[in-house]
Amino acid sequence: MIGALDMLLLAALAAIPLSALFATTRSGRWLLVAAYAVQFGLLIMLQPATAAHSALSFQLLGNAVGWQMDALGWYFAVITIGSAGFAAAYAAGEWSEVNGRLGLSLRWLYAGLQINVLAMLLLLASGDFVSLFIGWELTSWAGLILMLLAGGDAIRASLRYIVYAIAGGMTVFAGLVITQAAVGSLQFDALHAAAPSLGTGRLWAIALLFILGFSVKMASMPFHLWQAPAYAYSPAPGSSFLGSISARMGLFGIALVAIKLIGLAQLDRLSLVTDLVDLRGLLTWVAVFTAILPTFVAMRQNDARLLLGWHGVGQGGYMLLGVIIADRLGSAGGLLHVFNHATYQAILLMAVFAVIHRTGTADLNRLGGLVTRMPLTFLAMLIGIIGLAGLPPMNGFVSKWMIYRALIVDGHPLLFVATVISTLGTVLSVYKLLHNTFLGQLRLEHEQIHEAPWSMTVPMLLLCVVVFVTGAAPGLVLQYVAAAQQAIGLEPVRYILGGIESPTGSLDMLWITAILFAGFGIGAVLFYLIGGRSRRVHQLDNYAGGHFLTADVRYQYSDNFYAGLMHRIRPWYRGSFEWTESALVSALGAASTLARGFFEQANPAQWVLVGTTVIMTWVMWYALG
């Protein structure tokens, strides 16, 4: 009997060959966008409150393998298909035509996107550890397709990615087999049931292995180096899709395995020698550092895509933080942030790629003043950065607010301060992005540039509407977040349309939005109705220090934008992680040379003697001992 979930998966599967077939014509690509709409519709038809089972289930090597989708998976699936749909629509028109002419394989692009969606759906709909791992690995490898497409720098980034991804996958694999050894089964229920009776050692091993493995995908702190370049150098739809949702699969995994299956009560058993440090405490700090450090790395980037990529890493820290705090407000904030981040990150990446589409560069030192040339794109990016910086009234504020509140209520003031530091860094960083791209001096060669085509601006603006509406009325999303919380065994958040009801400080975004706009209204009244008319000058008509600046001279203040700040904090950029990574690679190279030396002996028969003697010594020693 084919259920709704099967229909969805089948549709996603069927869309892969369709993508390969139709991706080369404009109408075909719009058809593919429609295919995403169909998938989205099928997903909506699933009842998110109760788990939907797939008819597809079988025995594999003594394990029952099946698929089911609960509210958590559904929530992530909505974001996945949504991101993919918007990305597909963004690229459907002129973008694909131009880039297809430049040699990009559109078939691979669209098929890759759809393969990613299918892999993620499989992951999100996993019903046991086997299907979880299948989905996990497929997701990891599917991402590679999109990353490799661009060629050039992307290849090095994706090689780095895949080593990290395999390392993460193998860690999960180890967790899986150890779970099987400890529990005797690979069913989710088995671990859930057995977790309370597991010894601490086993529990540590399982929890740590799964969390570490999933963290690699999340690019949590020690494993964060791969993500920004890997996502940034992908072609526009791939980049915006991957940047929106791909890394969040790790969060899904952690929510599923650590929170739902192992359970908070068991996680709290995991403390180090003294009870001072426990796993969750450790993870919260990992999350906070993931939120802070990449943000400040982002501030130094000169490539707009990399800047956003690093912010993607940093925002992942907020989500992890919220989910690990795991109280009703914090976890809701973390999960809500997944949705919010997906929306504004997609906008930002789309806007950056629209700029690239028109100007051919994402180098922040080679842009500027585009606000008059590409006003809609500017508007989209403005809304996006307000969301990313977490300022009201956009949706990013709501989820961050919930996380802050949870931190204060739960008594983690240091974590709270640290997260706010990250937010401040974000504000600085995104202003640099906006300023260097759209504000300041317009370069002469960009004078003739037009707004991006409607096929690119409309998806961005639609997403802006989403960002604004869910910012003003977060209850629209929170109902699904609450269901997802219930699905992983947490208390659901108490929400209202405008935000959160809480006795110790509630949030009503409807009000805040209203007063903010009222304030703007008053400001506008003051500004426009009182006082004289101002004279509009041309964008290139400028002076500084009383001296005219001619347009052909570059006077844009862009490089080393926060010179004062950097003067203070540059010594703190030690590059320790880069250093550690390259040291590891060097060590691997040295070990490799050693191993080669082993094989390249002058007399290979040497090892027969060595082997025999050593083994026989071992034998005798063994016999005596």
The whole-angstrom separation of Cα 3 and Cα 25 is 33
111-130 positions binding another protein, by CB under 8 A: 130
Residues 434-463 that bind another protein (CB under 8 A): 434-435, 438-442
| DSSP symbols for 117-157 | HHHHHHHHTB-BHHHHHHHHHHHHHHHHHHHHTT-THHHHH
List binders of another protein among 523-582 (CB under 8 A).
Answer: 523-524, 526-528, 530-532, 534-537, 539, 542-546, 555-557, 561-565, 567-569
Residue 458 or residue 516: which is nearer to another protein going by CB?
516
Q: How far apart are CA 404 and CA 450, in angstroms?
A: 41
The length of the chain, given as a count of residues:
625
For position 392 contacting another protein by CB under 8 A, the verdict is: yes
Under the criterion CB under 8 A, does residue 312 sit at the interface with another protein? no
Q: Quick check: 371 binds another protein (CB under 8 A)?
A: yes
- Please give the DSSP secondary-structure letter assigned to residue 534: P
Q: If binding is defined by CB under 8 A, does position 496 make contact with another protein?
A: no
**Near another protein in 405-434, by CB under 8 A:** 405, 408, 411, 413-414, 416-417, 420-421, 424-425, 427-428, 431, 434
Query: Which tokens hold the place of 527?
Result: 């500004």
Closest CB to another protein among residues 378, 480: 378
Give, for 215, the enclosing helix (H) or strand (E).
helix 200-218
Q: Which are the contacts of 489, defined by CB distance < 8 A and separation ≥ 6?
A: 259, 260, 263
Sequence letter at residue 70: D
CA distance 408 to 419: 11
Residue 327 engages another protein in binding (rule: CB under 8 A)? no
CA distances, 261 to each of 129, 173, 175, 203, 463 (Å): 11, 17, 13, 12, 34
Q: Segment 170-209, which members bind another protein (CB under 8 A)?
A: 170-171, 173-174, 177-178, 180-181
Task: For residues 624 and 621, give the distance between their C-alpha atoms in angstroms, rounded to a whole number.
Answer: 5
Position 599 contacts another protein (CB under 8 A) = yes
Q: For residues 272 and 568, which CB has a smaller minimum distance to another protein in the complex?
A: 568
Residue 598 is a binding residue for another protein (CB under 8 A): yes
Q: By the 8 A CB rule, do 133 and 172 touch?
A: yes
Q: Give the nearer residue to another protein in terms of CB position, either 145 or 256.
A: 145
Residues 6+ apart with CB under 8 A from 351: 377, 378, 380, 381, 384, 460
CB closer to another protein out of 82 and 334: 334
Binder to another protein among 137, 252, 318, 495 (CB under 8 A)?
137
Q: Give the helix/strand (H/E) hosting 589.
A: helix 576-599
Beta carbon of residue 189, minimum distance to another protein (angstroms, whole number): 19
**Residue choice 22, 36, 67, 133 for contact with another protein (CB under 8 A):** 133
Assess contact for 309 and 227: CB atoms under 8 A.
yes
| CB of residue 27 to another protein, shortest distance in Å | 27
Residue 464 found at the interface with another protein (CB under 8 A)? no
Question: Between 47 and 200, whose beta carbon lies closer to another protein?
Answer: 200
CB of 49 or CB of 518, closer to another protein: 518
Tokens of 399: 């989820």
- Interacting residues of 191 by C-beta distance below 8 A, sequence separation 6+: 129, 179, 183, 206, 257, 261, 262
Q: Which of residues 36-75 bind another protein (CB under 8 A)?
A: 58-62
274 contacts another protein (rule: CB under 8 A): no
Q: Which of residues 220-239 bind another protein (CB under 8 A)?
A: none
Q: Which is nearer to another protein, 193 or 620 (CB)?
A: 620
Segment contacting another protein by CB under 8 A, of 46-54, 70-78, 150-158, 232-240:
150-158
- State which residue, 85 or 135, has the beta carbon closest to another protein: 135
Among candidate residues 330, 342, 283, the one with its CA nearest the CA of residue 481: 330
Coil, strand or helix at 618: helix
